[in-house]
A and B are shown apart, each in its own frame.
Chain A
């Protein structure tokens, strides 16, 4: 497996799912559209996540690559997949840093394979930063406004 074609399960530092890990390499979005049996794909920042919508039911793993932490396109890709009903693993890979974790989680990522391993304690604190949230997003958390107006 080429290093640049997906992370292996042991590179995954945080995973919020109980199902079995997909243990084969991801392919590009273009290849995924041509290959009818692919179950793992990797989205680059410039890819249109919506191209994958017809194949969602056969995908078990989507990696969203963050070559640079300041490029936020992957957050939209993740939400778009979750909004379309994708329930497989959604893995953030690349320049995944402590201070991006809570936002990524809200956008629907449920596994994380950072380039550089993160401090476990710092990460645990980061995942728990926001006890409450203002916006609706991909994580189905009840928002502050929902709580204010619940019966």
Chain B
């Protein structure tokens, strides 16, 4: 994986010093709160309901054991002994004090980590396929391209005061595991006639106006990718709406101009920028790519002893096919039935770090589904790994099931939320786990947001739940048919909302409809797409 050289380290150190100075000027009254706010946001520091929240960047979701151990130390030293892994492959701490923030950032910098641009109206942390470098189906490892974009987007002088936040995802497979087309820019690295390039999608997003990004360029030569991204951003910076915060994302610009007109403007700017010369030297990508060279895989057994049914179930559910046939990628579920999705204690983080050292070439991933992942595990080691995970409460065999719920922090933490998300996720996962229905239902992605900002990706859930405030009480709208994957679609609302008990019952009812109607091998989503909304509505409201 990538390692900082003296330049990268100096940049992060400079940023820590800059933030320390900004905090000092704030305390001395030289900066108003209005002036300080965008600065602290660009260092990942939000003011939430009860305290500050610090969001730490995990670029493209990749980290090593030393970094994970530091995340555990930060949790103990500056927070309450736990952290929350997010859909942006980041980690958030919910009980941070302003006075300690610069020290926490300095601690992070000692292990090549930071909180730069994890918030604010700038280019955010770049996300990527969590199976990058491991999956059998990728064209190339997408992370060198994401790292190139990380460097380009860090402290970009022109794009620090954009109309609104800007999220980029990079994948390199036909299978989309990063919700690529629901990003401001989605990049798919492709190979055409042996030449590597990038497909560019622009103007996707969730929030109150969800949109699927249209394809705006089917092939940018790889040594022009940064220039193309710069053109996309410049057109957005100049013409994105600034009159209304809710219409300021690039998706609104692309929608209002039309994809063809936005593309025309980008192409014009691209041609101009090619003549200016903003692309990093070609050798830089090669330099970065060397850090992502595959580890030394060795041959070994390709099957496991399935005599323990619990282990066999976990293997079936939580492992993913690897490019080397003696290995798999193993998902560490942060979704114990009744637990808080994405939360991990410092002890769990330390255990996972140790397991990464023992079983996965010292490499870890954060998944956008709020789980962790060991990308390269020998099939021969799986039983030992599972035993250790199970003992620590990290062995839930529920990847992509209804228990694998994505949920935002909701009204328990967030100052924007209208309703709680976490208790709902806890009750639903507990109920399905206890009734044994999780396995019967199979793949079913349930996503919960506590407000219209959609941090819980409810638009992209096979089942989505949106918490709203209805005359002072929490109310939950149910939607069906969304997907963040290569078969991307936006979920549709079933009808009037429910109270907390009502929406849990409603989720059970829609799974009843599915189980009664499904034909062989159909997932919930497939059945919904075949039979449509009506049978579900009939069961819910009929």
Chain A residues packing against B (C-beta within 8 Å)? 45, 48, 69-73, 75-76, 79, 83, 97-100, 102-104, 106-107, 119, 122, 125, 129-137, 143-149
Q: How far is the CA of A7 from the CA of B225 in the complex (A)?
A: 40
Contact assessment for B7 and A130 in the assembled complex, using a CB-CB cutoff below 8 Å: no
User: Shortest beta-carbon distance, B435 to chain A, in Å?
Assistant: 51
Given the interface pairs A145-B284, A149-B284, the reply to whether A72 lies near B7 with Cβ below 8 Å is no
- Interface segment among B127-135, B274-282, B414-422: the answer is B274-282
Contact assessment for B237 and A75 in the assembled complex, using a CB-CB cutoff below 8 Å: yes
Which residues of the partner chain A approach B21 to less than 8 Å between Cβ atoms? 122, 125
Q: How far is the CA of A48 from the CA of B155 in the complex (A)?
A: 24
Cross-interface CB contact of B158 among A45, A48, A72, cutoff 8 Å: A72
Which residues of B234-251 have CB atoms within 8 Å of chain A's CB atoms? 234, 237-238, 242
Contact assessment for B284 and A97 in the assembled complex, using a CB-CB cutoff below 8 Å: no
Cross-interface CB contact of B238 among A76, A125, A133, cutoff 8 Å: A76
Residue contacts A-B, CB under 8 angstroms, 28 given: A45-B242, A70-B38, A73-B237, A73-B238, A75-B158, A83-B276, A103-B155, A103-B157, A103-B158, A104-B157, A106-B157, A122-B21, A122-B30, A125-B21, A129-B14, A132-B7, A133-B157, A134-B152, A135-B152, A135-B156, A136-B276, A136-B279, A137-B278, A144-B151, A148-B5, A148-B284, A149-B281, A149-B284
Cross-interface CB contact of B155 among A73, A83, A122, A134, cutoff 8 Å: A134
Q: How far is the CA of A134 from the CA of B242 in the complex (A)?
A: 27
Q: How far is the CA of A131 from the CA of B159 in the complex (A)?
A: 19
B218 close to A (CB within 8 Å): no
User: Shortest beta-carbon distance, A45 to chain B, in Å?
Assistant: 8
User: Shortest beta-carbon distance, A3 to chain B, in Å?
Assistant: 23
Nearest neighbor of A105 in chain B, beta-carbon distance: B157
Given the interface pairs A72-B158, A107-B158, A135-B157, the reply to whether A83 lies near B272 with Cβ below 8 Å is yes
Number of CB contacts from chain A to chain B under 8 A: 105
Q: Which 9 A-B pairs have the closest CB atoms?
A: A72-B161, A106-B157, A103-B157, A145-B284, A145-B280, A144-B7, A149-B283, A75-B158, A136-B278
Nearest neighbor of B37 in chain A, beta-carbon distance: A70
Contact assessment for A72 and B22 in the assembled complex, using a CB-CB cutoff below 8 Å: no
Which one of A100, A104, A133, A135 has the greatest number of beta carbons of chain B within 10 Å?
A135
Having A98-B25, A119-B30, one finds 17 other A-B pairs with CB under 8 Å, namely A70-B38, A72-B160, A76-B238, A103-B157, A106-B157, A107-B158, A122-B25, A133-B157, A134-B151, A134-B152, A135-B278, A143-B280, A144-B11, A147-B7, A148-B284, A149-B281, A149-B284
Contact assessment for A107 and B157 in the assembled complex, using a CB-CB cutoff below 8 Å: yes
Q: How far is the CA of A95 from the CA of B284 in the complex (A)?
A: 37
Which residues of the partner chain A approach B234 to less than 8 Å between Cβ atoms? 76
Contact assessment for B242 and A79 in the assembled complex, using a CB-CB cutoff below 8 Å: no
Given the interface pairs A136-B277, A144-B151, A145-B281, the reply to whether A130 lies near B14 with Cβ below 8 Å is yes
Nearest neighbor of B227 in chain A, beta-carbon distance: A136
Which residues of the partner chain A approach B25 to less than 8 Å between Cβ atoms? 98, 122
Which residues of the partner chain B approach A75 to less than 8 Å between Cβ atoms? 157-161, 237
B18 close to A (CB within 8 Å): yes
Q: How far is the CA of A72 from the CA of B22 in the complex (A)?
A: 20
B39 close to A (CB within 8 Å): yes
Which residues of the partner chain A approach B159 to less than 8 Å between Cβ atoms? 72, 75
User: Shortest beta-carbon distance, A43 to chain B, in Å?
Assistant: 12
Q: How far is the CA of A8 from the CA of B278 in the complex (A)?
A: 35
Q: How far is the CA of A134 from the CA of B283 in the complex (A)?
A: 15
Which residues of B1-44 have CB atoms within 8 Å of chain A's CB atoms? 5, 7-8, 10-11, 14, 18, 21-22, 25, 30-31, 35, 38-39
Contact assessment for A146 and B281 in the assembled complex, using a CB-CB cutoff below 8 Å: yes
Which residues of the partner chain A approach B161 to less than 8 Å between Cβ atoms? 69-72, 75, 100
Contact assessment for A97 and B35 in the assembled complex, using a CB-CB cutoff below 8 Å: yes
Cross-interface CB contact of A148 among B22, B160, B238, B287, cutoff 8 Å: B287
Q: How far is the CA of A100 from the CA of B30 in the complex (A)?
A: 15
User: Shortest beta-carbon distance, B144 to chain A, in Å?
Assistant: 13
Which residues of the partner chain B approach A45 to less than 8 Å between Cβ atoms? 242
User: Shortest beta-carbon distance, B45 to chain A, in Å?
Assistant: 14
Which residues of the partner chain A approach B22 to less than 8 Å between Cβ atoms? 99
Q: How far is the CA of A119 from the CA of B18 in the complex (A)?
A: 15
Q: How far is the CA of A54 from the CA of B8 in the complex (A)?
A: 40
Which residues of the partner chain B approach A107 to less than 8 Å between Cβ atoms? 157-158
Cross-interface CB contact of A131 among B10, B121, B279, cutoff 8 Å: B10
Nearest neighbor of B22 in chain A, beta-carbon distance: A99
Nearest neighbor of A83 in chain B, beta-carbon distance: B276
User: Shortest beta-carbon distance, A13 to chain B, in Å?
Assistant: 15
B162 close to A (CB within 8 Å): yes
Contact assessment for B156 and A72 in the assembled complex, using a CB-CB cutoff below 8 Å: no
User: Shortest beta-carbon distance, A48 to chain B, in Å?
Assistant: 8
Which residues of the partner chain B approach A72 to less than 8 Å between Cβ atoms? 121, 158-162, 237
User: Shortest beta-carbon distance, A144 to chain B, in Å?
Assistant: 4
User: Shortest beta-carbon distance, B257 to chain A, in Å?
Assistant: 15
B154 close to A (CB within 8 Å): yes
Given the interface pairs A72-B161, A122-B30, the reply to whether A134 lies near B11 with Cβ below 8 Å is yes
Q: How far is the CA of A130 from the CA of B116 in the complex (A)?
A: 14
Q: How far is the CA of A65 from the CA of B414 in the complex (A)?
A: 36
User: Shortest beta-carbon distance, A50 to chain B, in Å?
Assistant: 10
Nearest neighbor of B163 in chain A, beta-carbon distance: A72
Q: How far is the CA of A97 from the CA of B161 in the complex (A)?
A: 13
Nearest neighbor of B273 in chain A, beta-carbon distance: A83
Contact assessment for B39 and A99 in the assembled complex, using a CB-CB cutoff below 8 Å: yes
Q: How far is the CA of A146 from the CA of B429 in the complex (A)?
A: 52
Nearest neighbor of B156 in chain A, beta-carbon distance: A135
Q: How far is the CA of A65 from the CA of B330 in the complex (A)?
A: 54
Cross-interface CB contact of B157 among A71, A73, A83, A137, cutoff 8 Å: A137
Cross-interface CB contact of B287 among A98, A134, A149, cutoff 8 Å: A149
Which residues of the partner chain A approach B5 to less than 8 Å between Cβ atoms? 148
Nearest neighbor of B24 in chain A, beta-carbon distance: A122
Which residues of the partner chain B approach A145 to less than 8 Å between Cβ atoms? 151, 280-281, 284
Q: How far is the CA of A95 from the CA of B162 in the complex (A)?
A: 16
Contact assessment for A103 and B160 in the assembled complex, using a CB-CB cutoff below 8 Å: yes
Contact assessment for A76 and B281 in the assembled complex, using a CB-CB cutoff below 8 Å: no
Contact assessment for A134 and B14 in the assembled complex, using a CB-CB cutoff below 8 Å: no
Q: How far is the CA of A69 from the CA of B10 in the complex (A)?
A: 27
Contact assessment for B30 and A79 in the assembled complex, using a CB-CB cutoff below 8 Å: no
